[in-house]
Amino acid sequence: MAEAIYAVGDIHGHVEKLQEVLECIERDGGHDAKIVFLGDLVDRGPDSQRVVETLRLGVAQGRNWTVLKGNHDRMFEYFMEPSPRPDLRLRLDLYWLHERLGGDKTLMSYGVPFSADAKLGEIHAAALEVVPESHVTFLQGLPYHLQLDSQLFVHAGVRPGVALENQSVDDLCWIREPFLSHTGAYPWMVVHGHTPVDQVTHFGNRICVDTGAGYGRALSVAVFEGKSTWALSKDGRQPLTPM
């Protein structure tokens, strides 16, 4: 029998939702269940520090977990460099600490003082003092994708017509179009987050597991076992069929 694989959507700093999902997965697949976290661990929610620590500790303890890098995780990683740098995929009018992106909430979860009139250098210096090096190292080491059998797990998506080894990491954690509107087949079923949907949705060539936890909605899980796919909730598995 094929091993079940559980894919968890964008967490965005909601540790209580993460704990509920982990309990749900353990009821369905046991303590050693194979879990792929699709990135965007941080930002917007109040508990980014606890989310990162929960996943870092689980990986360090040898749990059967793979944590992928989302664009929000990369923005945090870039900010924590000795000289903070912007992610070049950001729009000109946005920056990581903008309330729309939620980096301010991430730093507040680590106890970094934050106010609208604070200088960037002061915020950066305070962050370097209190964000554990183990968290920065963890973020730096996150992979951008994971291929397992016929599934490709990735945060944002892929560029159609480009071989996996030639995909840009910028696309893997940022792309929307032309990925979202592409209807042709890929060499794999692409399992992703990044672009929220109302419920876990099977589009035929891709499955989106981001249901908007960062905007106060649910944190969701998809299950893959052999050629079958389900959405998982506290009520159990519900079959996923293409739209």
pLDDT for residue 64:
98
pLDDT for residue 114:
83
Nearest Cα to 199, choosing from 182, 212, 181, 183? 212
pLDDT for residue 149:
85
Q: 73: which 2 tokens? A: 């995780």
Measured distance CA(208)–CA(175) in Å, rounded? 13
Q: What share of the chain is helix, strand, coil (3-state, %, to 5)?
A: 30, 20, 50
**Cβ count near 7 (within 10 Å):** 28
Measured distance CA(242)–CA(43) in Å, rounded? 31
Measured distance CA(10)–CA(173) in Å, rounded? 12
Are residues 35 and 25 in contact, defined by beta-carbon separation less than 8 angstroms? yes
pLDDT for residue 113:
85
Are residues 123 and 114 in contact, defined by beta-carbon separation less than 8 angstroms? yes
pLDDT for residue 115:
85
Give every residue of the chain whose pLDDT is below 70, as ranges.
1
The residues, any chain, with a CB within 8 Å of residue 105's CB and separated by 6 or more, are 13, 43, 44, 45, 46, 48
Q: Count Cβ atoms within 10 A of the Cβ of residue 80 and give its class: 0-12 exposed, 13-18 middle, 19 or more buried.
A: middle
pLDDT for residue 72:
98
First-to-last CA distance in the chain?
Answer: 27
Q: How would you classify the pairing of strands 206-208 and 189-192?
A: parallel
Range 5-239 classified under CATH 3.60.21.10 = yes
- Helix (H) or strand (E) run with residue 223 in it: strand 221-225
pLDDT for residue 1:
63
